Amino acid sequence: MNPRILCLLVGILAAATVSAQQGFYRPGQYPSLRNLNGLPGQAFGINRQGHPDFRGAFSFSTPTAYALSDWHWVLSGTFVSNDLSLGFAESSSGATTSANGTAVLQIGTRLKGIGNFSYGFALLSSELDNIGSAHFTPEQSGPVTFGIGVMDVSGSGGTSGFGNPGDNRSSRSPYVVGTYEYQPGTFITLGYGNTRFRGVFGSVSTLITPRLRALLEYDSFHWNQMLAYDIGRVGPAHITATLGTQAGRYGTWALSFGF
């Protein structure tokens, strides 16, 4: 086995072992924003040019540095269970007995001579709770690409889950992030933000096979471990399926359709 793959898999197993942490459905844990939240690279690959590409950078609940461009768009849906099982139930609450489903639409454009800009709209519950997130990647060269953005531009996503005490505080979360392509198919991302991000976040993803990718992500609260599979093209859409755990204790799946 390739040493880089072995090291990543060992890291994933170690993170899962030490992640017997408290759940994130708690006040101040931003439960509604800890799944997909409208930022680039979440549950789909994206290359440096801003095009959906399974061989590109990949994340789950944190951003990569690459913004979508050229009017490419991605439609995604995810569900995180309240235990390690997988399910399809949905709740708009952030209570400890709840589960959370999210749907996201992202679209990006190229600003000639300036950079790429993408915007994501996330529907957080069946009660139509929603947020919008913006990301900008300036034109640049060099081995590391940098981007800036704001998750939840309006600040309405809340800190504790909709309807819970203390949830009226703003959840607007600016950040800066850099992505480095260590070698073809392997990406390292490191960023810093406030509010929901509360400091440093980052991820490492690598291709295990041409159609299977592994992800280890630190979302600034917990470690997330994911495997993504390239289903391929169906009509105009390129489909990616993601399966894994959040915080080592919540089963998670996602489907993304890139155009």
Q: What is the pLDDT of residue 98?
A: 47
Residue whose pair of structure tokens reads 């009660």 in the numeric block: 127
Other C-beta atoms lying within 10 Å of the C-beta of residue 142? 7
247 against 151, higher pLDDT: 151
- Return mean pLDDT, the chain: 84
pTM of the predicted model as reported, rounded to 2 decimal places: 0.84
Q: Which residue has the tokens 């495997």?
A: 227
What does the pLDDT read at residue 75? 97
Percent of residues, the chain, with pLDDT higher than 70: 78
Residue 69 above 70 pLDDT?
yes
Q: Does domain 3-258 have CATH number 2.40.160.40?
A: yes
Specify whether the CB–CB gap between 54 and 185 falls below 8 A: no
Task: Give the SS3 label for residue 85.
Answer: coil
Least trusted range by pLDDT, from 12-21, 85-94, 225-234? 12-21
- Range in 9-18, 33-42, 166-175, 206-215 with the lowest mean pLDDT: 9-18
Residue range 178-203: average pLDDT?
96
> What pLDDT shows up at residue 7?
54
66 DSSP assignment:
P
pLDDT for position 115:
98
